[in-house]
Structure 1
Amino acid sequence: MDAKEFSNVELLKEIAELLNEEMEMVPMLQGALRQFLLGTPFQTGWIFFIDEKGRHELIAHENLPASLAANDCRTLQKGGCWCVSKYRNGELKKATNMIECQRIEQAMAANTSVEGITHHATVPLQSGKERFGILNVASPNTVGFEPDELALLESVAFQMGSAIKRIKLTTQAQEIALVEERNRLARDLHDSVNQLLFSVTLTARGGAEMTQHAEVKETFTEIQHLTQEALTEMRALIWQLRPKGLETGLVEGIKGYAEMIGIQLTTHVSGVLQLPYKVEENVFRIVQEGLNNIQKHAAVDAAELYLTATSSSLLVVLRDEGRGFIVPSEKVFPSLGLQSIQDRVDVCGGSVEWVSELGKGTELFVRIPF
């Protein structure tokens, strides 16, 4: 083994250790990319994740020329390019020299410095038959890389692909464990606290019927009323932990929750609702919080829900004809419910808007990409 081969083996060992130690996706890929660039002739690099619909997302980058890093890496974030197209078409099988790069050409056309970067190499990130995206690397004043450099790039991409798969499996296992724990807690609440509150309600009702003393009867009636409210809150909490009906579809889950809290909900669905599980759950939680706000603040017992699905996003409109409220000009919300909706929409990378006027009801508009 010559010195160069030994150096490559050492580099691969260091990168493997880094990939195995890190448990967060972005820091892991960022660190591995940095380590790879430090130990090779490559000087800059970036990683795209590409989903089933061919949409790319910039996940990590290192030592980009100013033109590619400008405006939050807009040149890399937006538009298309040949390497992403080849990946989408299944033509990118191994590490390859890209003769041209549309993104670099765009930067050059804008008369911004690319610091000698005119071409790059690209390699798919995959584990077995499962594909995740691509790794691109480049060096100043370099049109093509040597076979041994591409072989090293391919080895690192293989390591990254395996690490991405590991983290995805770990995340899935954690999500399954979380769902199981929420289900367990929901069962415990239903079997213990929920049943206890129900018993107190019946006891208070019986006490009110048995006594002839007006003050005692009023006390029992008040206990019954408060316990019934607590029971309703408890059932809502159990729904938040384990949405009953969501397993049969988003719309049925939402309608079931509305019925449970006493809201007559009319639904209108356009398009096919084939949503990823996490998107579906977040949309359910958003609408759930919107229904809670209607039930608590709008002074009406009816609402309309519109779900409009396109190939890339879901538009959710929840409308009531209740009291309405003054929408704050800044994102300083008058209730935790509105803040919760905003937080969930932010997690999904979506947008949210409230249209409301005192005495004229409220409309909630949410758009979630997927």
Structure 2
Amino acid sequence: MLKEIAELLNEGTEISPLLSGVLQKLLQVTGVTTGWIFLISPDGRHTVASANHLPPALAKNGCEPLRKGGCWCIEGFRNGSLTKASNIIECRRIEKAIKQNEGGTDGITHHATIPLQSGEEVFGLLNVAAPGKKQFSRDELALLESVALQIGSAIKRIRLTKKEQEVALIEERNRLARDLHDSVNQLLFSLTLTARGGAEMTSDEVTKNTFRNIQGLAQEALTEMRALIWQLRPSGLEKGLIQAIKGYGEMLGLNVSTKLSGVLALPSLVEEALWRISQEALNNSKRHSGQEHVHIFIKVMPCEVLLIISDDGCGFLYEKDRTLPTFGIESMRERVEALGGTFRLNSDPGKGTTIYVAMPY
């Protein structure tokens, strides 16, 4: 059984399907009927990463009895007292379900809980149960602990791999940004100077206008190139999201006012998403709003960050039930929803445009 689970874990490249697959395999070969896995963040917040064959009382409303509230195993994980596989004598979640008669527990009254860890790192808990089973033997707990250690190692491997991929992606973006700056950007700058010089050297009005048109087009291309370089390697992001947004707005010729509520310390994926969304919103405002002022408000709450971007421009007719009007706005929504957030856009002709983004972290 351990060999089959190890093979399954070794093939996994995404945490969520990996946990679902290994939990299903575990239930098939051990005789336990129900299992669920909590992933717990460093700040103590837990999520139900996988659940299999839950009784109705625990499965209702998208596993709400598991997702909400506290229990001994979560508290033990948080305070460091739960370090090995243990029998849970009193489970608040199951007791509450029995007491309130919320759909039945299929005979489940107790469960075992096992920390998912790799070395000194801990990631969450594996919980398993069976009808009428009040206690798991020492050998059963040892077996479950072996499985949990394998799961913990797989989680660590996947997370390290993703971090390496993120670093490699950033390095590649930086290399491409340097190449564009050193080659195409410099050529466009030289072209603007050459066109300006040509306009000053000729007295023929037609030729002068031609050179001026070339200069204008080259300058426009240079601005676009600088914006592209910013998108690849945001100058100032290392100093914080707010500074990067303001700097990008200034580069576009916008006056960006910002307001921050809370302490801005976000995971890299969330910060990256907010940065890209802000970029696209500023680009749209520059191209379409007819105004130079953009307002950005960021509110950081314990489990969620709120981003509001608004302008007082011309706006547009937007119907909520119809497809979003541009590919850029659609990509913003997809980026938000991919991280479990919500995206909302409000706009009316003559009343400006406002984008609301709420994202968990």
Calculate the TM-score normalised by the size of structure 1: 0.92
Which residue matches 2:206? 215
**Which range is displaced more, 135-144 or 72-81?**
72-81
Is the counterpart of residue 56 in structure 1 residue 57 in structure 2?
Answer: no
For residues 264-314 of structure 1, the C-alpha deviation after alignment (integer angstroms, 9 at most, x for no partner) is 112222221111222112111111111111101100111222222222222
Is the counterpart of residue 34 in structure 1 residue 24 in structure 2?
Answer: yes
Is the counterpart of residue 21 in structure 1 residue 21 in structure 2?
Answer: no
Which residue matches 2:97? 107
Q: Equivalent residue of 1:201, what SS?
A: helix
Is the counterpart of residue 281 in structure 1 residue 272 in structure 2?
Answer: yes
Task: Measure the CA separation in 1 of the matches of 2:210 and 2:323.
Answer: 40
Give the alignment of 1:176-191 within 5 angstroms: 176-191=167-182
1:110 shift after superposition:
3.7
For residues 120-147 of structure 1, the C-alpha deviation after alignment (integer angstroms, 9 at most, x for no partner) is 1001101111110000001111111111
1:154 shift after superposition:
0.7
Q: Equivalent residue of 2:30, what SS?
A: coil
1:327 shift after superposition:
2.5
2:142 is aligned with what amino acid?
A
Which residue matches 1:85? 75
Which residue matches 2:196? 205
Task: Measure the CA separation in 1 of the matches of 2:266 and 2:12.
Answer: 30
Count how many residue pairs are aligned between Structure 1 and Structure 2. Answer: 360
For residues 24-63 of structure 1, the C-alpha deviation after alignment (integer angstroms, 9 at most, x for no partner) is 2122222222222222121221111000121111111222
Task: Measure the CA separation in 2 of the matches of 1:200 and 1:162.
Answer: 56
Task: Measure the CA separation in 1 of the matches of 2:86 and 2:198.
Answer: 82
Runs of 4 or more above 6 Å deviation = none
Is the counterpart of residue 319 in structure 1 residue 321 in structure 2?
Answer: no
Task: Measure the CA separation in 2 of the matches of 1:320 and 1:36.
Answer: 54
Which residue matches 1:98? 88
Seen in structure 2, the aligned counterparts of structure 1 residues 331 and 151 have a Cα distance that, compared at 3 Å, is: farther
Q: 2:354 aligns with which of 344, 363, 366?
A: 363
Q: 1:263 aligns with which of 243, 248, 254?
A: 254
Task: Measure the CA separation in 2 of the matches of 1:119 and 1:148.
Answer: 18
Q: 1:229 aligns with which of 210, 220, 227?
A: 220
Calculate the TM-score normalised by the size of structure 2: 0.95
Which residue matches 1:242? 233
- Contact conserved, 2:199 with 2:207, CA < 8 A, in 1? yes
Which residue matches 1:143? 134
Task: Measure the CA separation in 2 of the matches of 1:328 and 1:79.
Answer: 38
Indicate the percent of aligned positions where both proteins have the same amino acid.
56
**Which range is displaced more, 42-51 or 217-226?**
217-226
Task: Measure the CA separation in 2 of the matches of 1:255 and 1:148.
Answer: 60
Which residue matches 1:74? 64
Q: Superposition RMSD on alpha carbons, in Å?
A: 1.6
Task: Measure the CA separation in 2 of the matches of 1:229 and 1:256.
Answer: 19
Which residue matches 1:163? 154
Q: What residue ranges of structure 2 are gaps of 5+ in the alignment?
A: none
- Contact conserved, 2:198 with 2:211, CA < 8 A, in 1? yes
Which residue matches 1:344? 335
Task: Measure the CA separation in 2 of the matches of 1:40 and 1:308.
Answer: 47
- Contact conserved, 2:57 with 2:102, CA < 8 A, in 1? no
Task: Measure the CA separation in 1 of the matches of 2:7 and 2:356.
Answer: 46
Task: Measure the CA separation in 1 of the matches of 2:209 and 2:13.
Answer: 59
Q: Equivalent residue of 2:58, what SS?
A: helix
1:357 shift after superposition:
2.4
Q: 1:120 aligns with which of 111, 116, 127?
A: 111
For residues 233-253 of structure 1, the C-alpha deviation after alignment (integer angstroms, 9 at most, x for no partner) is 111111111110000111111
Which residue matches 1:44? 34
- Contact conserved, 2:313 with 2:350, CA < 8 A, in 1? yes
2:143 is aligned with what amino acid?
L
**Which range is displaced more, 111-120 or 140-149?**
111-120
Which residue matches 1:353? 344
Q: Equivalent residue of 2:87, what SS?
A: strand
Which residue matches 1:6? none
1:331 shift after superposition:
5.2
Q: Equivalent residue of 1:59, what SS?
A: strand
- Contact conserved, 2:259 with 2:298, CA < 8 A, in 1? yes
For residues 148-178 of structure 1, the C-alpha deviation after alignment (integer angstroms, 9 at most, x for no partner) is 1111111111111111111111111111111
Task: Measure the CA separation in 2 of the matches of 1:175 and 1:369.
Answer: 20
- Contact conserved, 2:35 with 2:51, CA < 8 A, in 1? yes
Q: Equivalent residue of 2:170, what SS?
A: helix
